[in-house]
């Protein structure tokens, strides 16, 4: 077990990253109105790659960049590519609230899978906090599942892949430089989408749209570096309930920019989400 003060740092970093994360989903949703979703996925990974990988490779050198953990890094990068591709595919056809609620099975998967892959201790308290946070999430977004279709299945697959990405992030953090880990977050997706680019490119984006597509990569770099540092300081099963904090950050954006004031049920859901995180935090201090 890591020192308790490091666990609190990990929780704080994760919440900070989740506060920023909705920005790149919002950019992707906005751009999808005029640009094919596959082109947006390519832009998300290629911009991340081109802004960071050459610089880090030059600074760190080949020996540090490629190590014994590289195979796990590739698996990890492939999982985040699949999670992103499935989620962007889902939100192109179904409401964001529905897709996000389905995708947020990820923390539940993390809690259970971390005991098998990472050998972390699984207890009833972690399980309770995770499901309590998920219950609060459902109250906040109040999704409608009358038409669970192919795109809903994509959101579910996204949740599974995202959970595996988080678990492997914790796994590689024991042996890898965080900047190298951040590079491998982009490499598989950038390579795959660039090789396939001639087969799906069909848009003629304006300069402003190209700039927005590039900015997705910059936001992703910031958010995922914060995630990597968070998972260096706390176990995956401890951090899992805090991923529901992303719902709160989405709600804050709705209030600040769209004047969408939540009702009582939504406020109760937010209280449940916050409570699940506070319980975990207090447990680490006692």
* DSSP track, 72-141: HHHHHHHHHHHHHHHHHHHHTTS-HHHHHHHHTTHHHHHHHHHHHHS-----HHHHHHHHHHHHHHHHHH
CA–CA distance, 89 with 99 (Å, rounded to integer): 10
Q: How far apart are the first and last CA of the chain?
A: 14
Query: Whose structure tokens read 């947020």?
Result: 104
> Among residues 85, 76, 33, which one has the least CA distance to residue 170?
76
Decide: residue 237, CB within 10 A, 0-12 exposed, 13-18 middle, 19+ buried.
Answer: buried
Q: How far apart are CA 169 and CA 233, in angstroms?
A: 12
**Structure-token match 């660039």, residue found:** 194
Closest to 11 (Cα-Cα) out of 235, 206, 221: 235
Burial of 283 (0-12, 13-18, 19+ CB in 10 A): middle
CA 30-224-210 angle, to 5 degrees, is: 35
Reading the chain (286 residues) residue by residue, the pLDDT tens digits are 444 458 888 888 998 998 888 787 778 878 877 888 888 889 989 999 999 999 999 998 888 888 878 888 999 999 999 998 898 888 777 766 667 777 777 777 887 787 777 777 777 777 787 777 777 767 766 655 555 578 778 888 998 898 899 888 888 877 788 899 999 999 999 999 999 988 888 878 889 888 988 898 899 999 989 998 898 888 877 887 787 777 767 666 666 655 556 667 767 776 776 677 666 655 654 4
Buried b (16+ CB within 10 A) or exposed e, 247-272: bbbbbeeeeeeeeeeeeeebeebbeb
Phi, psi of 189 (to 5 degrees): -65, -40
């Amino acid at each position: 077990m890591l020192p308790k003060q490091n666990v609190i740092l990990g929780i704080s970093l994760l919440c900070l990253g989740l506060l920023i994360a909705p920005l790149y989903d919002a950019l992707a949703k906005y751009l999808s109105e005029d640009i094919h979703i596959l082109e947006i996925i390519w832009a998300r990974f290629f911009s991340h790659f081109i802004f960071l990988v050459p610089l880090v490779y030059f600074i760190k050198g080949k020996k540090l960049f490629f190590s014994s953990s590289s195979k796990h890094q590739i698996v990890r990068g492939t999982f985040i590519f699949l999670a992103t591709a499935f989620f962007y595919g889902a939100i192109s056809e179904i409401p964001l609230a529905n897709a996000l609620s389905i995708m947020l099975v990820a923390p539940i998967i993390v809690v259970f899978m971390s005991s098998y892959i990472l050998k972390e201790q699984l207890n009833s308290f972690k399980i309770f906090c995770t499901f309590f946070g998920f219950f609060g999430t459902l109250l906040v977004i109040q999704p409608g599942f009358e038409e669970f279709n192919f795109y809903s299945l994509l959101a579910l697959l996204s949740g599974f892949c995202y959970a595996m990405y988080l678990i492997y992030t914790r796994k590689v953090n024991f042996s890898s430089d965080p900047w190298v880990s951040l590079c491998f977050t982009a490499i598989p997706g950038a390579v795959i989408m660039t090789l396939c680019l001639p087969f799906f490119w069909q848009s003629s984006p304006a300069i402003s749209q190209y700039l927005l597509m590039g900015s997705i990569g910059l936001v992703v770099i910031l958010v995922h570096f914060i995630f990597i540092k968070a998972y260096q300081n706390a176990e995956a099963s401890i951090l899992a309930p805090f991923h529901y904090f992303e719902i709160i950050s989405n709600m804050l954006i709705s209030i600040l920019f769209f004047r969408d004031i939540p009702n009582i049920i939504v406020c109760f859901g937010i209280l449940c989400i916050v409570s699940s995180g506070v319980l975990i935090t207090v447990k680490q201090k006692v």
